[in-house]
């Protein structure tokens, strides 16, 4: 709350803290929805600029940043898809070099993620959104349920169906997860 109050005054330290706290989570949420690294980076920047504009116009978050940022991220992703006449995907894993993995492990992981990216788009919008919130934004089930206005049981079921659907598609593609 204190951080939000300071952000409303556009204090640089508070804004820097907010950027550090939320950038990765917002980026990962967006990356789950748009599947292209550069687009995800651009859209994440746009979300933070919207936060600034809202704070400047005194229309920003009043109580919680997390919920506001999720709402802004969901809107930015929707607008992005509206703007897209044709959706192009690019390998998400281009820069996914992971420390401490063997080259084979890295290759397997990259291959798996590329295939995941390809089949994610086959899921329903609702399923994609739940996965993005859970694995991108890293929200607990309770928070996802609150944001989407669903019961925790319903979110768990949606998540299980989405992952089940993904794994079926990966198996059909011959990808060993």
Partner 1 sequence: MKVLQESILVDCLDRLEAGATVAEILAKYPDQRDELMPFLTTAVALSASIPPPAVAQTEARQRFLAEAAALRRQRGKNFGAGRLTRLLRALVLGQVVG
Shortest distance in whole angstroms from residue 53 CB to partner 1: 8
164 near partner 1, rule: CB under 8 A: yes
Within a 13 Å sphere around the CA of 59, how many CA atoms are in the beta-carbon half? Answer: 5
118 near partner 1, rule: CB under 8 A: no
Q: How far apart are CA 45 and CA 14, in angstroms?
A: 17
136 near partner 1, rule: CB under 8 A: yes
Q: How far apart are CA 5 and CA 80, in angstroms?
A: 30
90 near partner 1, rule: CB under 8 A: no
The residue (of 13 and 79) whose beta carbon lies closer to partner 1 is 13
Return the SS3 of 173: coil
CA distances from 2 to 13, 24, 52, 62, 87 (A): 12, 22, 17, 11, 41
Other Cβ atoms less than 10 A from the Cβ of 53: the count is 11
16 near partner 1, rule: CB under 8 A: yes
Residues of this chain that bind partner 1 (CB under 8 A): 10, 12, 15-16, 19-20, 23-24, 27-28, 31-32, 37, 40-41, 44-45, 48-49, 52-53, 55-56, 92, 95-96, 109, 112-113, 116, 131, 134-136, 156-157, 159-161, 163-164, 166-168, 170-171, 176-177
């Amino acid at each position: 709350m204190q951080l939000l109050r300071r952000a409303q005054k556009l204090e640089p330290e508070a804004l820097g803290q907010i950027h550090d706290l939320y950038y990765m989570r917002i980026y990962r949420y967006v990356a789950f929805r748009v599947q292209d690294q550069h687009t995800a980076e651009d859209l994440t920047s746009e979300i933070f600029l919207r936060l600034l504009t809202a704070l400047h116009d005194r229309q920003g978050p009043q109580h919680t940043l997390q919920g506001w940022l999720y709402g802004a991220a969901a809107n930015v992703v929707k607008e992005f898809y509206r703007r897209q006449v044709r959706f192009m995907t690019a390998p998400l894993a281009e820069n996914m070099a992971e420390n401490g993995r063997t080259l084979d492990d890295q290759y397997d992981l990259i291959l798996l993620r590329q295939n995941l990216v390809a089949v994610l788009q086959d899921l329903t919008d609702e399923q994609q959104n739940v996965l993005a919130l859970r694995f991108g934004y890293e929200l607990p089930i309770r928070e996802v349920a609150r944001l989407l206005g669903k019961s925790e049981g319903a979110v768990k079921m949606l998540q299980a169906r989405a992952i089940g659907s993904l794994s079926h598609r990966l198996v059909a593609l011959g990808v060993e997860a």
